[in-house]
Amino acid sequence: MQKIDAHFHVDLQGIDAGQMIEYMDNHDIEKCWLLTWEEKKPPIDSIYQPLPPEKVFEAYEQHPDRIIPFYAPDPKTDNLEKKIRQYKENGLKGCGELKVTHKWEDKAIENYLRVIDKYDLPLLFHMEEPRRHYVPESESKFEKLLEKLMNGALNGVTRHYLTVFSRKTSILKDHIENHQEYFPGYLYDFSNLEKRLKQFPGIDFIGHGPHFWNNISREQSDILIHQKGRFDEFGIIDRLLTHYENFYCDISGKSGFNALSRDHDKGRLFLEKHYNKILFGTDNTGMDFEGLIRSFGLPKEKLKKIFFENADALIRE
């Protein structure tokens, strides 16, 4: 079956352009959407990895029949429109990955959407909630361990208990407080996203990221980074995908994989309902997304949509 990987990066996880084509050949992936990441002022340096458009277009020039070039300039960029126009003349097909510490309500985002709309580009974006992030003071083993425990080990469970423990006992309390920095989140305000979906019906929005996918369920735990386990009711993404013709999602990343596999029955129902809005993608994770999608036993017509046709239709003029 033909496939488009709708979420890929070059020079991420050590995958250069050559290795990317090799990966695509090995997995029968005909094309991929190659995405940038650009933030002018990342709030915490250690969680930002620049993925510049030059690299995307270099790879595109080498493999024009395999790569669909995307670029999401930082919304604070001067001459945004000029930049988009120039890249579009060079073959730009979409805007993404937009992963920036803005909210949908921001004026800068409204202006940004006007430009994207004018140049008729789909917009792929990443949603993540604000949090406090531990920044180690040195390379010591102890600091490395604290960094792990505070920022993601055991899906957020160690962060929770270490915070409670340090507050109760005062052990490490000041140390932890002094080394945590505020991370303001990426585009996480769903209610304003919904307003933008209405305001810009001509833009195809493609959601992704932990905050997006955690909202596959209504119930949420405050402790966990990726929500887990079975659930009763679908959350807001189900409603947005149902109501807005211009709203889509990509399943890439640990967050998408987790959301579809945490409750297999609900995962199947979600794909059955939204098969014409869901895009296959991996985000350089190497996880078996194809196996996961196939495990739901969907009819071939629906699989074709998810693996290829939805992504293909979004970048056709």
Among 39, 283, 290, 309, binds Zn ion (CB under 5 A): 283
By CB under 5 A, is residue 250 in contact with Zn ion?
Answer: no
CA distances from 116 to 36, 79, 200, 300 (A): 16, 13, 10, 34
Residue 114, φ and ψ in degrees, nearest 5: -60, -45
By CB under 5 A, is residue 5 in contact with Zn ion?
Answer: no
Tell me, by CB under 5 A, how many residues bind Zn ion: 2
Residue number of the CB atom closest to Zn ion = 283
Q: For residue 46, which amino acid is it?
A: S
Q: Which range binds Zn ion by CB under 5 A, 43-51, 151-159, 283-291, 292-300?
A: 283-291
Smallest distance, Zn ion to C-beta of residue 91, A = 20
Smallest distance, Zn ion to C-beta of residue 31, A = 17
Question: CA-CA distance, 155 to 160, in Å (whole number)?
Answer: 10
Residue closer to Zn ion, measured from CB, 131 or 254: 254
Taking alpha carbons only, the member of 65, 1, 50 closest to residue 27 is 1
By CB under 5 A, is residue 238 in contact with Zn ion?
Answer: no
R_g over Cα of the chain: 20
SS3 13: coil
CA distances from 210 to 24, 30, 50, 67, 79 (A): 25, 27, 20, 26, 31
Site for Zn ion in 113-152 (CB under 5 A): none
Site for Zn ion in 89-108 (CB under 5 A): 97
Cα diameter, the chain = 62
Smallest distance, Zn ion to C-beta of residue 44, A = 18
Residue closer to Zn ion, measured from CB, 116 or 176: 116
Q: Which range binds Zn ion by CB under 5 A, 41-49, 50-58, 281-289, 306-314?
A: 281-289
Please report, as ranges, the residues that interact with Zn ion according to CB under 5 A: 97, 283
